[in-house]
Chains A and B, each alone.
Chain A
């Protein structure tokens, strides 16, 4: 019975979403407060209805109700509870339901907490949210209904793909979607502002928290996906420039640009139409990402098997959203009031250049990702664009961006003095030179060593200049301790957040450069009792045995790794799951603070009882995860800033106030 209720609630949500979009739009046009007031209750009703549908599907998964096709295809009674629940979004239909659920919650949040918003802006933003919701609800109801039944109900389900039965992947999709959907709020506000014909600091103060939240979730979501690929796929890599990875990374790049340009709108009311355009582009790229992942038109490491009709539907939604909003932009943007002026050397300029680097990077990654499709359409042959392309275009764009990140936060609004800033950063330059020299001395002078050391030196630049900037703000070591403490407390949270996020980025760069440059690997066949040395670890193979897991059988290898006096046990596995029957590789990873030892058990035993073994030494990989967590955390600190909690406070003193990013 419940699945029908869920289906009914979902079907009812569609007309409610249409009401939420059409009536307030008419109301805003006619300046009719009664019609505009429909938006809020409609958004709340939509949240309740979609929430009921989501609860019904979750309940069907928890209760293993195999009369529902979706549960039958993606669940199994022997699965642990966590994966029964994550199975709800571990499939196409359910993940779309999660998408609209998050959309509805965000819409309801605007309705409930948006009391400070101008009435018409609020009505229009909610109306655009309603339109997006209606598009996705129609998509679910007409092509991907999660509540379809089968009769008679099968006794047992087909099970969830074992690769997805993993804590990292259980939370990866919700995080990504919180990011994507968060950008839909920025999009809705952008379209509403275009309809309004007015963009001001108050508008930016509304858009920034949504963008910040979306960005933080997307950052952590991409990080979780990368972490999962690293330990679950068993090849010791964490980023492959794969189309599905790029699909989430491209909106991240433009979203990062949006995050920064919204600051300029808030503080200086400049770059207004650019920010609007970025909001539109970022959400469009999120939709494009959804399309690429859902349609399966690109050969990907993480490909989802695809249904062409679904692809066409998402493509139509994409065309409507992008075409509609860009047309509106073309008509309305020229009429926006021009913003404040600034000199070529100023904080505004710094943020603008940041935006140019980020959007150029996004465009080149997008081109590389879509090029196989373009080439095929133009009959240039079937081809793929590999990691070398992405590394060649991406790294040269990021290096100057990171150099700028060290200087940017110290620049003053309107007009700044570069020489003075560089003078303050002498310490950072010294740190860079010292770290670079130490890294070279420890590693060597081969090309990879120089590249890796340069990466770490770049990270040092960013880390130390962020620290110097923050220390300058709170007068660390200059004032009395009580005064420093007072300054730390009174410094806006957004400033602390920026420092933490930028430092997180520095730590991430250490992880990226170090692991790319100094990864060591060893592939060999081993019999019990043999040993191999990898990066100073003496790894002994003690043999392998079959063990029984809850829903799999596993061949577990036993290794011990010795370095110095201490020894650790490593137990990589090759699992064969029962439902569905599928083999997975479970790498054994021994983590020290700064490096991982990573062992995979491969094929075997051969006739002479040997196994293929891969042993990697992965230096600095843990820094990737520290860095990503710090970035996400920085976003959240910034989100807790008072100005973001209180919708649109007085905009006085915005210029005089110390600058934040």
Chain B
């Protein structure tokens, strides 16, 4: 299958020292579609900071990869849209050592794990989003799809770091994980929380896999509060922010414009109707709904408050890593995470903000758990 949307003319044969980009990340002078007809003819006016950093570190960028429209399909799992991430497929096929991607819903992470790959989600605000087509600002974060975590964390140490072109960067933090040292735990063994309430029937198999692969760790039981609300809160917040972020695509200044129209209103309506796909329209409608005067307090504001409660309920005082069968908690709480295959399932390991080093030292050099 052809996962390239745009292929750059490089003499590189691919593989090591090569990267591909999800088509939401900008490279100057090259198209960036974010998988949408709306941006079919849009040429990036700038290089994303992450791209600039990769290129100056000597990484060859082979091209831009096919993606689900604005990455929004992950919010509607019941629609059963087909596999979408060209970036994950390309890394699985060994075309590139790693791919950059904005997996704010967690769908790409699961897809990558199903292909036997890792997805590294950095702490929110540690990789610049200058040059990333925005979708859900409070969760947008460039992450890394990789076959080897050594490669992945090396890429992370290249692309992370403060950038004054992004308004929500963590000050001066650079994730220098390439040289992470093994952790010392004088008081206790590494504690991995496997919350029973989110691992329904496969708790035992996951637990034994982890113990077998990670060796001398302690499995801790904590409860993940509000877990039944992850999906609805995620959907409300994502749709709200998404509907706002795509309002810039109106057919006036750039992007798709309908051919015939007789009024401004018609220009807006027809351009957006013709250029956006089903999931985008669904998210835009739902977003407008939850932000409306009528629903703001009842839905959006409440979802924001629950999100805060979720963050406050994380028990990193009782464990070093929280494992979950889904990645969305890391997106809701801005946590660094690695999603990976584990005994036929996908497993997401999350740590406290800024503690990518814990994941790195624990997981590095272990091919599959």
A and B physically associate: no
